[in-house]
Structure 1
Amino acid sequence: MRASAKIFWILGVFFLIVAIAYGFVTGTYEPHGIETVGFPAILALSGLGFMIAMALTLAYRKNSINPSDDLDAEVSREAGVQGSFSPYSWAPLWASLGAALCFLGVAAGWWIFAFGIMFAIYGVLSWVLEFSIGQHAH
């Protein structure tokens, strides 16, 4: 985790420097001032890098050393449960279909967007409540 945190700190600083340079260059040479899409997007990318770096840094401080941080660690130390995933889940399909219909609806027609919202809500709710109801209920 420590190496990952360092990588994201470096990425956050890099994108902040790029955003400042991009804002300066577009503010100087564009007739309408600072470009209104790229500059905030690169700033948001920098903020995302800093948020991930902060989360990884806090997780590293809270938990013990990770096998990826130990140079002499064996591969088998990383073995074990990596997460809890439900088998045979249809929820990601419905959520992604809803997202695709929403994006299509913005371009083609708002009535398609409404169907996309319905599919997306069903998919996300069934994904979240997957372990509460049905075959894999706890």
Structure 2
Amino acid sequence: MKVEYKLFTILFSFSAIMGVIYGIFTHWHEPVGVVGLFLTGGLCLMIAFFLWVTGRKIDLRPDDNPDALISDVEGDFGFFSPHSWWPLFLGLSGAIVFLGLAVGWWMVIIGLPLLALSAIGWVFEYFRGDEAI
């Protein structure tokens, strides 16, 4: 967790410094960019704090040990479907929903049931019929 919290601390510092520079260059008359950069910095700071606190509570991972070997992190990371079509349908239905936000609400109404159906299909892909896990 050491690397992660340092990364988000650097991102916080960058966003805060860029927010101040942006404010100076725009004479603080354009608030959207400054607020966006400061909010980004705040979110990075919250994530960095969470990772720092969590990293203190758990043991060191092999990623945090400079003397660790690659074989120290090997193991089972879960099951990933090699031939699932559901992510494609989920992406297409999500595109319909987000396109509907720009084009018209009638597309959102069409896309939401498709989005829900494809999300349920992907989650429960291996939990039906004779092939159930």
| TM-score of the pair, normalised by structure 2 | 0.77
Q: Deviations over 1:58-83 (max 9, x none)?
A: 33222211112111111100101224
* Percentage identity across paired residues of the two chains: 36
Q: Deviations over 1:59-118 (max 9, x none)?
A: 322221111211111110010122443454443223222221122223333222222222
- 1:114 maps to which residue? 109
Kept after mapping to 2: 8 A contact 1:97/1:116: no
Instruction: Give the CA RMSD over aligned residues.
Output: 2.6
Query: Which of 10, 30, 33 does residue 34 from structure 1 map onto?
Result: 30
**Which aligned pairs between 1:1-138 and structure 2 lie closer than 5 A?**
1-26=1-26, 28=27, 33-36=29-32, 38-129=33-124, 133-134=127-128
Q: After TM superposition, where is structure 1 displaced by more than 6 Å over at least 4 residues in a row?
A: none
Q: Give the residue type in structure 2 aligned to 1:110.
A: W
- CA distance in structure 2 between the partners assigned to 1:50 and 1:91 by the alignment: 35
- CA distance in structure 1 between the partners assigned to 2:10 and 2:107 by the alignment: 42
Classify the secondary structure of the residue corresponding to 1:65. coil
Q: Give the residue type in structure 2 aligned to 1:120.
A: L
Kept after mapping to 2: 8 A contact 1:15/1:45: yes
Kept after mapping to 2: 8 A contact 1:23/1:34: yes
- CA distance in structure 2 between the partners assigned to 1:47 and 1:128 by the alignment: 33
Alpha-carbon offset, residue 23 of structure 1:
2.8
**Structure 1 residues 40 and 88, CA, compared in 2 at 3 Å: closer, same or farther?**
farther
- CA distance in structure 2 between the partners assigned to 1:128 and 1:51 by the alignment: 30
Classify the secondary structure of the residue corresponding to 1:71. coil
Question: What are structure 2's unaligned runs of at least 5 residues?
Answer: none
Residues paired across the two proteins, number = 132
| TM-score of the pair, normalised by structure 1 | 0.75
- CA distance in structure 2 between the partners assigned to 1:121 and 1:51 by the alignment: 31
Alpha-carbon offset, residue 134 of structure 1:
1.9
- CA distance in structure 2 between the partners assigned to 1:96 and 1:7 by the alignment: 30
**Structure 1 residues 121 and 52, CA, compared in 2 at 3 Å: closer, same or farther?**
same
